[in-house]
Structure 1
């Protein structure tokens, strides 16, 4: 399963690795003048000079069910200058990856989120220093309480990194929380899961138990603690900013498709 997921999300190496790679190769020249959004019985599509956009690899027509999503992709296409820079088109790249993955990947994406949730960032705690312990409790306990109440589940957090199995009933109900979600939604949720290291935070975001900022803050408790101790590293902060861009794009997809 993981090999399939890695193939489907090549554009998300470290959240933006493929985009970095694209910056190192010759970019194609812009070949179109007009960008529009059209609707038919299948959904909304972006057109370039009247031609429907297709994915770059498998040449599959890109159709979405949200006007806002189609308009966002059209905006990225329209914003291109003399050259087309995929690194500046995170929404287009995310949806292209979903379309090229295909509907057959829906069970795998759903299972991946559940796999993270069962071994989640929020469930493995530090025993020191006290400042970090307190930050984890403040940001993670509240999220777990909201999830527990909303889905009528119980969690078993642990100190350290030794695996702690979560109750089967909890895992089953969390999996059910993803039931009925389509390919584009699950692609966005897998992106959020990978960028935050937490399936629980992705599920909480989907069900509007936490805001995007609350999710991002919770995902970076440990990293922020290290920054307080040792200061900011310019390269690390640049990577984080690019990951935040990928995260915000995925959150928009969730909001528009919810």
Structure 2
């Protein structure tokens, strides 16, 4: 499935490959500031500042959040930049930007996208063989499915192989309903965790504190890790996975703080 938040951030549903190539060719801006601060405003929001000047989002809105821990995490990203500012190394900033600029007006679309993942979730599709992989999937994914079934009141249909299966519409509607109260920032983070893991159920378990970030990430890569153990790891794939893990951890931090659990 496409990454809706990337499309929103780009301003259109552009080809993601073309967008990635364009970004790779773009010259990174030079660092123009010395000090990064977080300042509490009169409205209670925590604004990130560069040399005393407020940071603006890509949509030219004020980069200010109710959650001080997240604002300080964003400030840390800006402070860690070297001679150039590389957005790829600033996942908290990117998630906050899209949460402030776009998600408030398209929250229903973002929630619908998460619910669509739940209808075609990674955890539904099981290996037929080898037995060691079958057992690992059952051991790691089974408890998550049991939790989700109890949480949302229904049973999921599992399949062996890749042929799609149809899930109970009422069950999916309850999952969608649970997303409606979410504020833009945790909703954006939930979507990021969903797309990176390929599983709305893992992302929901992460959001509700059923899984830690390490547990959810490991569950998302059961198949890949089994293959690595038997066939070795591709360096390029490993680098991409590390980059995605950085973004996943940023989403997990936001979900934990917004849920009142603090840093994971």
Specify if TM > 0.5. Answer: yes
Range 149-158 or range 119-128, more displaced: 149-158
The answer for the alignment partner of 2:55 in structure 1 is 53
Q: How does 1:106-255 map to 2 (within 5 A)?
A: 106-255=107-256
- The Cα of 1:18 is off from its aligned counterpart by 7.3
Range 247-256 or range 45-54, more displaced: 45-54
Contact between 1:8 and 1:100, CA under 8 Å: does it hold in 2? no
Structure 1 vs Structure 2 CA RMSD: 2.5
Distance 1:127 1:4 in 2: 32
Distance 1:47 1:66, change over 3 A: same
- Uncovered stretches (5+) of structure 2, i.e. residues with no partner: 260-264
- Uncovered stretches (5+) of structure 1, i.e. residues with no partner: none
Contact between 2:8 and 2:98, CA under 8 Å: does it hold in 1? yes
Range 158-167 or range 200-209, more displaced: 158-167
| Correspondence for 2:45 among 43, 46, 53 | 43
- The Cα of 1:137 is off from its aligned counterpart by 0.7
Distance 2:73 2:92 in 1: 7
Distance 1:201 1:153 in 2: 17
Q: Determine helix, strand or coil for the equivalent of 2:64.
A: coil
The answer for the alignment partner of 1:90 in structure 2 is 91
The answer for the alignment partner of 1:8 in structure 2 is 8
- The Cα of 1:166 is off from its aligned counterpart by 1.2
Q: How does 1:93-104 map to 2 (within 5 A)?
A: 93-104=94-105
Residues 161-220 of structure 1 show CA distances to partners (whole Å, capped at 9, x for unaligned) of 222211122112212222311111111111111100001111111111222111111110
Q: Determine helix, strand or coil for the equivalent of 2:218.
A: helix
Distance 1:109 1:120, change over 3 A: same
Distance 1:18 1:129, change over 3 A: same
- The Cα of 1:128 is off from its aligned counterpart by 1.2
- The Cα of 1:81 is off from its aligned counterpart by 2.6
- The Cα of 1:99 is off from its aligned counterpart by 2.2
- The Cα of 1:19 is off from its aligned counterpart by 8.2
- The Cα of 1:55 is off from its aligned counterpart by 1.5
Aligned length: 254
Distance 2:160 2:90 in 1: 40
Distance 2:3 2:221 in 1: 26
Distance 1:74 1:19, change over 3 A: farther
Q: Determine helix, strand or coil for the equivalent of 2:40.
A: strand
TM-score (norm 2): 0.87
Distance 2:168 2:236 in 1: 40
TM-score (norm 1): 0.89
Distance 1:223 1:235, change over 3 A: same
